Amino acid sequence: MGETSLLIFSFCLQAAIGIMLFITLGKQLYKDKEFKAAALVAAVLSVVGILASLSHLGRPLAFLNSLSNLGSSWLSNEALLSGIFAGIAVLYALVLYLKPNQTFDTVLRWLGSIVGVIAVFSMAKLYTSTIVPVWQGINTYVEFYATTIAVGALLFIVLSLKQLQDIDKRVYGLIVLAAVIIQAAVAVPHAINLGVEGLAAQASAAILSSMSFVIGLKWLLVLAGAGILMWPSAQKADAGAASGAGIIYAACALLVVGQLIGRYVFYAAVVAMNIGLV
Amino acid sequence: MAQYGFYFDMTSCIGCRTCQIACKDKNDIPIGVIFRRVRAYETGKFPKPGVYHYSGTCNHCEKPKCVEGCPTKALHKLDNGIVDHDRDKCIGCRFCTWNCPYGVPQFIEEIGRTGKCNFCKDLVEKGENPVCVDACPMRAIEWGELDQLKAKYGDVTVSDLPILPPSSITRPSVLIRAKTIALQKDYREKEI
């Protein structure tokens, strides 16, 4: 598979956007808490993602040309929105660490969340607008938003264990569980329907079928990760309480690995429409 | 605005691939990349087997998805309808390879950019023919303004075949005089 850089870009950016969304939610629920570690990781993931996207290009140094067709090209739109989000994420982390300012923090947080949500839409729209049948339809949108929410929530919790100690995390667990259940409910019929569409779709269905063990593992890990977060002893976990924290680390690791496998499959199953492959 | 297009006479094509080679030579295309490709298909079975060839390149579509999706505007339409590619603008993102239903733009590793047929616009501007047209020993390829080609061949040509993506996606500027067997859906591509 030759799309490793795109895998890293889309996964890191969505994880960073998810973290930003949950920082915003966390600040709404607990006004006095700071989520500095989460903000720092969101910034680092954004930068890693952007650098990975540049490494995909044949001419990385000419990357600014990618902004020349805004409006018409969803790749242009995505490049702009991802760049703006990364800028906001880095600025937010810098402000939190170097010169906290409540009004500025709030503006950056909300702006980052709004731009991030639109950026995820543009990523999904980019893929659904191509002539690759396995990417078309609502599945890509659900896959991307579910990854954003689930990975973002788990990373946010892991990075904010101290701030969230003694706080019931089941609300996050429910959000994550709902996201991954919807993800699975859309993905399974999507994969089944591919088999009855055109030849390119059928070729993708054959690839998915040959990867059924890996795909099964993905759903096992993703659902287990989301489910473990609902475990009672995970609710009072903090960095000092080994067993509770361990459960949350395990949930995060399972879910992140599961979603990474899913993203690998997303790119591995690509078969584009072509002459004789309609 | 004029719209140039190609006419391909499948009933004359013998699958010799001279057009393919002439195109490679003229454009100095490296190994593994082909701007005009000839494909061979079998249909039916004994006692009524059939074979036909399809010589295809960029269709310089009226509604090109590659142009719509190109983030750099390297791919753009000229006043004469040619879908041109500006290599100075191209950043090698390969998005066009996921947008053309005919698999035309191809990534050229050596230069870190994609490339495609530009209708031999340098020759056309001098009043000459694209090299594929001149190279064909069977005179199976013609070019011209699409309206004029339609007036000349409209009654005997199609833009849709079972092997081709629906013309409604990009409205290709190509007219095909098809063999009857090419309308059958039981095609199988043959490597030659």
Q: What is the pLDDT of residues A77-94, one digit of tens each?
A: 999 999 999 999 999 999
Alpha-carbon distance values, A121 to A75, A80, A186, B65 (Å): 12, 13, 17, 20
d(CA A200, CA A182): 26
Nearest to B93 among A72, A75, A278 (CB): A75
Q: Which residues contact A2 (CB under 8 A, 6 or more apart)?
A: none
Q: List the single residue in B with minimal CA-CA distance to A278.
A: B165
B74 touches chain A (CB under 8 A): yes
First to last CA, chain B: 40
Question: Which pLDDT does position A233 carry in this prediction?
Answer: 67
DSSP-derived secondary structure for A35-48: -HHHHHHHHHHHHH
Q: Reply yes or no on whether the pLDDT at A241 is more than 60.
A: no
Count of other CB atoms within 10 angstroms of residue B14: 12
Instruction: Mutation target for B interface from A54, A61, A130: give the one with most B CBs within 10 A.
Output: A130
Q: Residue A231's pLDDT is what?
A: 80
Instruction: Determine the distance in angstroms separating the CA of A53 from the nearest CA of chain B, rounded to an integer.
Output: 9
CA distance to partner chain B, nearest, from residue A42 (Å): 25
Q: Write out pLDDT tens, residues B57-89.
A: 999 999 999 999 999 999 999 999 999 999 999
Using an 8 Å Cβ cutoff, are A271 and A277 in contact? Answer: yes
pLDDT tens digits, A143-189: 999 999 999 999 999 999 988 887 888 889 899 999 999 999 999 99
* Residue A276 sits at the chain B interface (C-beta within 8 Å): yes
pTM: 0.95
Average pLDDT over chain B reads 97
For A272, which of B93, B103, B111 is closest by C-beta distance?
B103
pLDDT digits (tens, 9 = 90+) for B23-47: 999 999 999 999 999 999 999 999 9
User: Residue B91 is nearest to which of A59, A126, A273, comparing CB atoms?
Assistant: A59
* pLDDT for residue A42 is more than 70: yes
Whether residue A232 has a cis bond before it, omega within 30° of 0: no
- pLDDT, mean of residues A101-116: 96
- Nearest to residue A10, comparing CAs of A90, A119, A93? A119
Within 8 A of A60 by CB-CB distance, chain B residues are: 91
Tell me how close the Cα of B95 comes to any Cα of chain A, in angstroms.
Answer: 8
CB burial of A72-110 (b: ≥16 within 10 Å; e: otherwise) equals ebbbbbbbbbbbbbbbbbbebbebbeeeeeeeebeebbe
For residues B81 and B146, the answer to whether their CB atoms sit within 8 Å is yes
